[in-house]
Amino acid sequence: MKSVLIAVLIALVIIFSGIYSTEKLENMSIYLIDKCNQANEEIKAENFENAEKYVDEIESFVEENYTMFASTIDHNEVDKIDMNIDQMKIYIKENQKADALAYGNVLIGLLEHLPKDHKLKIENIL
């Protein structure tokens, strides 16, 4: 009986931590997508200084929440996000509208993909 209770408790901990991390990742993605969209709007208007501020906010947020990203998503995806932020910053500094927008849109795609791909699924538990 004790072992069944322990197994149920462990399963509940796994399920609730999965739900929490999925929700947190989804909220983080929404926030970052919003910042990316704002940066893209500034790039379209050729306000590169304002766009750079938004990208700096994105970069700071990712750095501050690196542990959450690294613990819930594949490290290759974290690297792709970091690389796209870096590329976006370079093109913004060079006032290269098309390239900056391209990397901004790729970054949005990566961020939209995160919560969809990391939802709690029964096959991930078993």
For residue 60, give the CATH number of its domain: 1.20.120.290
Domain count, the chain: 1
pTM attached to this predicted model: 0.83
What does the pLDDT look like over 14-48, one tens digit per residue? 888 878 888 888 999 999 999 999 999 999 999 99
pLDDT in tens, 66-118: 888 887 788 888 899 999 999 999 999 999 999 999 999 999 999 998 877 66
Domain of residue 66, residue span: 2-125
CA distance 50 to 53: 5
Tell the residue number behind the tokens 């096959």, with chain if given.
123
58: which 2 tokens? 């994105």
